[in-house]
Structure 1
Amino acid sequence: MLARHLAIGFHEGQFSFWFCDAIDNAVVGFVYDDCLADGDDLPALFSAVYLAFDAGKVDCHGIELIEVFTRPMIAETAEDLPSDARKARF
C-alpha cells in the first residue's frame, strides 16, 4: 500500500521526488527483513517503486535522472495499477 501511495502521489505531483525517496529508503530495510524472514521476494510493486526512486539519485554528468528515469518508471507503474487503486486519496 505504501508503494502505491508513493507512486500515485509522485505521478500526480502531490509528493516530491525527495520525499518519496526518503520514505522508500526509510522502509526498504524493514520490508526486506520481513521478506527474508518469510522466505519471500520483495513485493513486485514495492520493488518497482523503490528501484524507480533509486534510479533518480545517481549523479550522471548533468543528466536529469529524475526526468529521464524515475518519472517514466513511476508513470508506467502508476498507470499499470487497477483504476480503483489509482483513485485512492491520501
Structure 2
Amino acid sequence: MSTAIRELIASLKVKHEDEVALLNSLAKGQAELDGPKLSRLVAEADLENWSAQSTLARNKLLDAFALELALGFSENALDFDFCNRVVNELLGALNLQEEEPALFWSVFLAFDAGEFYHDKDRSIHPVDRYTRPQIAEIVRGHTTDLAEHAAS
C-alpha cells in the first residue's frame, strides 16, 4: 500500500510544482486577481476512488496518506507548502459526518501549526518551531509502520 500512496503523492507533487512554477513565472500582480489560481489537488471524488482502488476504508487511507506525508517531510523529500496544501485539501474532501482519523488529524494539526506565528517571537519560523518537532514525534511514534514502509 505504501508504494501506491507514494506514487499518488508523487503525481500530486508534480501537479503542485507545475502550478507553482506557472504562478511564479507571471509578472508580479498578474496572478493576484485575474490570473490563474491553484486548482484543487484532491477532491472528495478522488478520495472515494483511491479508497475503492486500495480497498481501504477512507479513514485508514487518510492515515496511510498522512504517514507518507509525514515521512516525506521528515526526510526532506517533501516540502512544507506541498504537505500543508495536501492535508488541507484532504481535510476539505473528508465528509464532515465522518470521524477524523487520529493519525491524519495529528499530521494535519502539525502542518496547521506551521502556517503562522503563534506569538511575537519571530526568531524561529513556525515550521521549525512547531511542525518539524511534531512531525518528528509522529514519525517516532509509528516505528512499526516505518518498518512496513521500509519493506515496501
Normalised to the residue count of structure 1, the TM-score between the two structures is: 0.82
Runs of 5+ consecutive residues of structure 2 not aligned to the other structure: 1-63
- What is the rounded CA distance, in whole Å, between the counterparts of 1:81 and 1:58 in structure 2? 27
- Equivalent residue, structure 2, for 1:56: 114
Displacement of 1:41: 2.2
Match of 1:23 in 2: 86
Structure 2 residue matching 1:26: 3-state secondary structure = helix
Among 65, 73, 77, the residue aligned to 2:134: 73
Q: Provide the C-alpha distance between the structure 1 equivalents of 2:136 and 2:74, rounded to a whole number of angstroms.
A: 6
The CA RMSD measured in Å over matched residues stands at 1.9
Q: 2: distance between equivalents of 1:86 and 1:55? A: 24
2:66 alignment partner in structure 1: 3
How far does the alpha carbon of each residue in 1:22-79 deviate from its partner, in whole angstroms, 9 at most, with x for none? Answer: 1111110222x1x61xxx4211100000000000001354241111100000000011
Match of 1:46 in 2: 104
Q: CA deviation at 1:12?
A: 1.1
- AA of the residue aligned to 1:86: L
Q: Which has the higher helix share?
A: 1
Equivalent residue number for residue 10 of structure 2 = none
**Structure 1: runs of 5 or more not aligned:** none
Q: Distance in 1 between matches of 2:134 and 2:114?
A: 10
Corresponding residue for 2:143? 82
Which protein shows a greater Rg?
A: 2
- Give the structure, 1 or 2, with the largest relative contact order (CA under 8 Å, sep 6 or more): 1
Between the aligned partners of 2:137 and 2:117, the Cα distance in structure 1 is: 23
Give percent identity, aligned residues only.
35
